[in-house]
Amino acid sequence: MKALITGSAGFIGSHLASALFERGHTIVLVDIVNGHDARDLFRDDETRYDAVFHCAAVAPHRSAIDNSPATVGAGCLELDAAMFAWAARTKPGRVVYFSSSAAYPIALQSQGLAVRLGEGHIRLDAPERPDAIYGEVKLMGERLAQAYRAQGGSVTVVRPFSGYGQDQSPDFPFAAFAQRARRREDPFTIWGDGTQVRDWIHVDDVVGAVLAAVEQDVDGPVNLGTGVGTSMTDLAKLFAAEAGYGPAFDYRTDAPAGVAHRVCVPYLMESFYVPEVSIEEGVRRALA
């Protein structure tokens, strides 16, 4: 297989690249941090790829989403629109579009509801308000994917929940917590009140599920998650216990914290891939 990965120097993109390389595929890597802007490729390149993994995005972490919404939203929308226009022209074998759990209605993610989010909770013909402009952009990306499919294109839409791993940027909470635990910080800082619940899925399982979906021609949309919720405070406690100390927790309620509860129904994913790495094992790997 000849595959293109955009955003190949990013967290998900770099892990996908490693997995595809290990499987013997030919891969073309494009990332702006390495001097290769995906928008230039989409404008000029006429190569037909067997698979395209579109991971390129602009700062998709909580701080940027809340504090620089125009930059994040406009940048991601530009990349997604250019990619689908290019795909319609060059007709790759299959496109993988990385949507996001941010596309789900925020009304279902409020304090006290504890709704597990299934793929059917998003109706592209009548979408409810998602999480910030970033969620709006991901909804538009899914609608572009729908239009591309209607024109005969093959596209897999995935909705990752809280992906994590030991080499993730500290702009994301899991990696930030790992750094604090390594330094044995006391007090241990947590953004928000600590009750925010997330569905943590290890990057190895994100990659494993994506490749299984491509191999089995799964169109999706499909949630990538475990169906298990862990609060920010409980995650901090796991890190502290693994690091062997008992800090106090400093809750920064003025910092960006996101929605109260975001956990998926993973049944569709589990029909072709079952996650292997628990959050406890992920914490152990991060501090090993």
The C-alpha angle 58, 283, 5, rounded to 5 degrees, equals 35
**CA contacts within 13 A on the Cβ side of 148:** 30
The C-alpha angle 13, 21, 37, rounded to 5 degrees, equals 40
Note down the domain range covering 101.
Answer: 2-163+201-227+262-276
Asked if the peptide bond before residue 247 counts as cis, ω within 30 degrees of 0, the response is no
* 15 within some domain: yes
Residue owning tokens 């390129």: 56
CB atoms within 10 A of CB 47: 10
* 253 within some domain: no
* 172 within some domain: no
CB 198 within 8 A of CB 162: yes
CATH code of the domain containing 158? 3.40.50.720
**What's the pLDDT score for residue 58?**
79
CB 287 within 8 A of CB 178: yes
**What's the pLDDT score for residue 101?**
97
Residues of the chain short of pLDDT 50, as ranges, are none
Q: How far is CA 124 from CA 69, 104, 221, 269, in A?
A: 22, 11, 11, 20
* 60 within some domain: yes
**What's the pLDDT score for residue 72?**
72
**What's the pLDDT score for residue 75?**
87
* 178 within some domain: no
- Tell me how many domains the chain contains: 1
φ, ψ for residue 2 (rounded to 5)?
-100, 115
* 76 within some domain: yes
Q: How far apart are CA 285 and CA 279, in angstroms?
A: 10
* 183 within some domain: no
**What's the pLDDT score for residue 102?**
95
* 220 within some domain: yes
